[in-house]
Structure 1
């Protein structure tokens, strides 16, 4: 009897500690209370904003090679300002190639602002070479999450595999470069602005695997949109700053943000697009799990809309939740969506509706992204633009390279991992 008296309090304490750890790991995506706002007025001030024609001033950038070729070109041609906003910036070849280009621009007198979320270090320190470009020291607030990620996913990679040359110290010390990288902002956005006139936005991170291969030998597939025109930049920054947005019938920026007031609009926009779809929906996304999106997709398919979904056969994170989500979708759709599993790591975040509307950006389709993270996306009215033919050609290639799943029983997953991934995502 005495033993039972001791065991039950100990068991209770153990359970409470376990619950606390699970909370820290999976739920601690608190709204940042004090996000510093860098002076983006330097981007807006003293410039005339001329009309921009989307049909001639928008370009789809496919994968990391095309994206970084465009980014490096813009850096080399920059005359006044560069603004970079990134979630992942790894201390590897690509990370240092970008830094070298920026240092050369800064030496020419270009004023550069870099905004980097410290939360991204969680993934920088648990994948690939496990080296963060800006965050060299251990981050105690991320230790528990880092431990669980390393245990859940045995990521290949050589710990501490340093690049031949690292420019991290030089970049942060340059007088023409302002770096904000010391706060966790829950900001998953990825975008570049050059000389007040060119915006590059999407889902490409700053790391080797976007250009070459990841540590597991997989190619990455991703997208960015390049918008050339001062009006696009002005409209985008107005949206981020909570100002009155200059209307544009061809482009709408769809964001999740905490400041100046909490505005989370990505999920509602996705649900609205799916509800209004008449003929076809094509989605490429790497991370799934949001129940409302899955439910709306099932309803969309059951209305007779042709739904095609592309996702990686094996993702770097939450593969089991992805497969569970797709199985649920097939089981709850009378008119079965076409599910394509690709051997590449499809890191893209893209929704194409009726070949008329394209939503592209940084948002995943899991609950963390849609409800707890700051994200930036662009919704484009496609008719007449050069984006659609290029995108359709790439989608055709992906269909040919993918495995088409026709039955829910084809999708097998680890229920235990899917459970924890669902809590996390």
Structure 2
């Protein structure tokens, strides 16, 4: 296939990329990497809960900080609103830097501004190993959590692309105007360790506002054989749907995996609104019904793949701060595709096109309105409640609180 222009400038050769499925695989590898860290651990996440997973992460980070490793952790305050002082104090006392992204006052316990969240899930250790994906630090990413445990994916990467991930995370620290002494030196490019080409792509509310969406769409236009997308929240824009349908109409086999047992019922309702439009073009739709699906992955033509934090909905495409890794490697694509095929075969309900209602007589009149909304939503999203997000440093025990610096990297 022809590689996408949206990410042409950032492809790095010589990487090793490993898919990690669910918390059982992901947490073990992240904790092992933290334990092996000698110089630096950088982390960002949307959710960090004080459950058994969050406590174990805290323990690994604490040991790293106590042996002199520089630890910096950025946590979204909306996704993680209940972190206690008792939980965080040992880390800050050991010298770790913890920041809460966009902590906002609440009204009767409800946060009013729910937009422009820091939704990335990133880890970088010693400029040699990085993790990118959709898995948060909470027990509901483990199977023993029960029927509401999430199905999700991440990747572990080694090689030259790690330098790009580290550079991004250090820049995010430096541009928050903290005044603290933290190394902003350019990371050293790693030696080639594998055969995979990889590209790290972020989405912000500035110049890169459409970067991840554009990478998907250009891959659709270049696809020749098959497209498999597994995504928790699917309600993309008009152009995304147009390119996906066009691929199916020219003979590309398109499979979509959505939540059949959603953690947010509105997500399934929104996706089902589009089913008729999709199956009419030949798209095959599957609903994963074993437990809530939280993944954000895709494989195209057996060689192009992506794993990350970005859903395919208005929040991820228009408002949230996101990060994905795009990979060109047949072995990695084969592994990820095999895992998705097993989901389809063993845990999904295939949607019969004949069972998708064509709707009532008035729906052909309202469909143009729906797609007008989908076409215009990214622009309209800019009118939603907005401000310049801040990050607040969690002070060490018995230290006076610091003023919240402006997070210019996340500004509109």
How high is the TM-score relative to the length of structure 1? 0.68
Q: What corresponds to 2:128 in structure 1?
A: 197
Q: Distance in 1 between matches of 2:167 and 2:126?
A: 16
Structure 1, gaps ≥5 residues long: 1-50, 125-131, 137-165
Q: What corresponds to 1:254 in structure 2?
A: 201
Q: Distance in 2 between matches of 1:96 and 1:312?
A: 29
Using the TM superposition, give the Cα deviation of residue 90 of structure 1 relative to its aligned residue in structure 2, in angstroms: 1.5
Q: What corresponds to 2:56 in structure 1?
A: 97
Q: Distance in 2 between matches of 1:237 and 1:110?
A: 15
**Closer, same or farther in 2 for the Cα pair 1:359/1:75, shift >3 Å?**
same
Q: What corresponds to 2:272 in structure 1?
A: 323
- Secondary structure, in 3 states, of the residue corresponding to 1:189? coil
Using the TM superposition, give the Cα deviation of residue 220 of structure 1 relative to its aligned residue in structure 2, in angstroms: 1.8
CA contact (8 A) 2:260 2:288 kept: yes
State whether structure 2 residue 165 is matched by structure 1 residue 236: yes
1:36-55 equivalences in 2 (<5 Å):
53-54=14-15
Q: Deviations over 1:338-387 (max 9, x none)?
A: 1111112221111111011001111100011111111111111113x3x2
Using the TM superposition, give the Cα deviation of residue 300 of structure 1 relative to its aligned residue in structure 2, in angstroms: 1.3
Using the TM superposition, give the Cα deviation of residue 390 of structure 1 relative to its aligned residue in structure 2, in angstroms: 2.5
Q: Deviations over 1:130-159 (max 9, x none)?
A: xx336x8xxxxxxxxxxxxxxxxxxxxxxx
Task: Provide the aligned C-alpha RMSD in A.
Answer: 3.2
Q: Distance in 2 between matches of 1:411 and 1:226?
A: 42
Aligned pair count?
320
State whether structure 2 residue 131 is matched by structure 1 residue 212: no
Higher helix fraction (1 or 2): 1
**Closer, same or farther in 2 for the Cα pair 1:105/1:388, shift >3 Å?**
same
Using the TM superposition, give the Cα deviation of residue 257 of structure 1 relative to its aligned residue in structure 2, in angstroms: 2.2
State whether structure 2 residue 307 is matched by structure 1 residue 377: no
**Closer, same or farther in 2 for the Cα pair 1:392/1:379, shift >3 Å?**
same
Q: Distance in 1 between matches of 2:358 and 2:36?
A: 50
CA contact (8 A) 2:235 2:312 kept: yes
1:7-406 equivalences in 2 (<5 Å):
53-54=14-15, 57-121=16-80, 132-133=82-83, 167-171=87-91, 173-183=92-102, 186-212=117-143, 217-229=147-159, 231-238=160-167, 241=171, 250-258=197-205, 263-291=209-237, 292-317=239-264, 318-331=267-280, 333=281, 336-343=282-289, 344-383=291-330, 385=331, 387-400=332-345, 401-406=347-352
* Higher RCO (C-alpha 8 Å, min separation 6): 2
CA contact (8 A) 2:37 2:125 kept: yes
**Closer, same or farther in 2 for the Cα pair 1:398/1:314, shift >3 Å?**
same
- Secondary structure, in 3 states, of the residue corresponding to 2:26? helix
**Closer, same or farther in 2 for the Cα pair 1:354/1:245, shift >3 Å?**
farther
Q: Deviations over 1:162-200 (max 9, x none)?
A: xxxx733323x3242001114256221101011121011
CA contact (8 A) 2:275 2:356 kept: no
Q: Deviations over 1:222-254 (max 9, x none)?
A: 11111123x222122445649999899811112
**Closer, same or farther in 2 for the Cα pair 1:312/1:213, shift >3 Å?**
farther
**Closer, same or farther in 2 for the Cα pair 1:168/1:327, shift >3 Å?**
farther
Q: Deviations over 1:375-407 (max 9, x none)?
A: 111111113x3x234323312320122111121
CA contact (8 A) 2:127 2:188 kept: no
CA contact (8 A) 2:122 2:132 kept: yes
- Secondary structure, in 3 states, of the residue corresponding to 1:120? coil
Question: Radius of gyration: which is bigger?
Answer: 1
Q: Distance in 1 between matches of 2:240 and 2:68?
A: 46
